[in-house]
């Protein structure tokens, strides 16, 4: 695994090394800071870069404003998933999850200056098993974190004690995505086995059959995998080998019908796709990466001026969409 630029390398060779890293870079994960003004992006070299969305979106923004304000080595292998709490950035790679304090991250201005607060590894079946952790999900009502990935299980961790409290088994292949129904709370998991599972109140058995029988095919979403649209389950689109995000709806009351939702998906191909719940393709907006692996929708109410969609994948660029009609600009790792 390629790592950070080695020490004692002549300047010319260092520039070539960095250029090759950017050429072969893949950005797997993103997470917005609690204040909504910064974006973290994790790549295949184990690095996390912090971008200032407020600076990049400013009317006085320059090219330098679209580069990281902090970059640090977080994992030995790829940073497959990230999520933010009110104070922490949680990142996951091969077999473990780490915690970083946002306040400390934003104080650092040079490479390698950030130190992890803690690290945890789920109880895998053998000591030799080091599966990637593809998805992280916060469950605020339980103050817990759910991890899922290459071992085909959902692991629940108590954020207060750091203890792993349960393992949910049912998938027969890699788990790629997790979603939360906050009112229940219930968790949805989508895996490479083609199954979407619904877990009620985080018990150890699924409340629904392995595949919910309400399928809509999306022929242009970018992969050949089967798509599973879950009607009535929070408008979540679970895709076996693509990424997804949910377009935000207004705050709802029991007497207020929901705003017609849209679904954003991405995968193999440059486009972010907009879907109606009927399965009709509404629009395709091209980005700069040949394949997209991560979508992030900044919904932090503390920074409405930074409400953007960001998309990243098989390149060193993070595309920024100020509306869903076009790509406004790109951040560069």
pLDDT band at 163 (very low <50, low <70, confident <90, very high): very high
Judge whether 165 lies within some domain.
Answer: yes
Answer yes or no: is pLDDT of 237 > 50. Answer: no
Judge whether 247 lies within some domain.
Answer: no
Judge whether 90 lies within some domain.
Answer: yes
| Domain range for 76 | 26-241
pLDDT band at 14 (very low <50, low <70, confident <90, very high): confident
CATH of residue 235's domain is: 2.130.10.10
Count of structural domains, the chain: 1
Judge whether 6 lies within some domain.
Answer: no
Judge whether 286 lies within some domain.
Answer: no
- This prediction's pTM: 0.81
pLDDT at 157: 97
What mean pLDDT comes out for the span 175-189?
83
Judge whether 65 lies within some domain.
Answer: yes
Q: Give residue-wise pLDDT tens across range 258-291.
A: 334 677 888 888 998 887 767 788 889 999 999 9
Q: Tell me the torsion sign for CA atoms 326, 284, 293, 184.
A: positive
Report how far apart, in Å, the C-alpha atoms of 82 and of each of 62, 166, 222, 295 are.
Answer: 28, 21, 23, 12
Judge whether 145 lies within some domain.
Answer: yes
Judge whether 198 lies within some domain.
Answer: yes
């Amino acid at each position: 695994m390629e790592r950070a630029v080695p020490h004692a390398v002549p300047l010319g060779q260092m520039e070539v090394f960095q250029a090759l890293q950017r050429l072969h870079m893949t950005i797997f994960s993103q997470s917005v800071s609690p204040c909504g003004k910064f974006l973290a992006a994790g790549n295949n070299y184990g690095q996390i870069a912090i971008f200032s969305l407020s600076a990049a979106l400013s009317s006085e923004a320059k090219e330098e404003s679209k580069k990281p304000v902090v970059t640090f080595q977080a994992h030995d292998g790829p940073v497959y998933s990230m999520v933010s709490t009110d104070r922490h950035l949680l990142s996951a790679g091969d077999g473990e999850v780490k915690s970083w304090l946002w306040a400390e991250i934003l104080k650092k201005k040079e490479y390698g200056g950030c130190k992890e607060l803690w690290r945890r590894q789920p109880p895998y079946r053998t000591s030799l098993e080091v599966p990637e952790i593809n998805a992280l999900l916060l469950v605020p009502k339980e103050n817990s974190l759910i991890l899922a990935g290459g071992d085909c299980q959902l692991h629940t961790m108590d954020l207060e004690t750091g203890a792993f409290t349960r393992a949910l088994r049912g998938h027969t292949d890699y788990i790629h995505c997790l979603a939360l129904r906050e009112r229940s709370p219930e968790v949805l998991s989508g895996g490479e086995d083609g199954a979407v599972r619904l877990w009620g109140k985080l018990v150890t058995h699924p409340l629904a059959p392995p595949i919910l029988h309400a399928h809509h095919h999306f022929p242009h979403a970018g992969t050949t995998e089967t798509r599973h649209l879950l009607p009535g389950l929070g408008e979540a689109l679970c895709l076996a080998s693509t990424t997804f995000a949910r377009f935000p709806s207004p705050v709802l009351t029991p007497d207020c019908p929901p705003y017609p939702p849209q679904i954003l998906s991405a995968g193999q191909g440059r486009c972010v796709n907009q879907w109606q719940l009927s399965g009709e393709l509404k629009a395709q907006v091209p980005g700069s990466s040949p394949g997209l692996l991560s979508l992030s929708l900044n919904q932090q109410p503390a920074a409405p001026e930074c409400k953007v969609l960001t998309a990243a994948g098989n390149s060193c660029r993070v595309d920024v969409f100020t509306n869903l009609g076009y790509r406004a600009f790109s951040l560069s790792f």
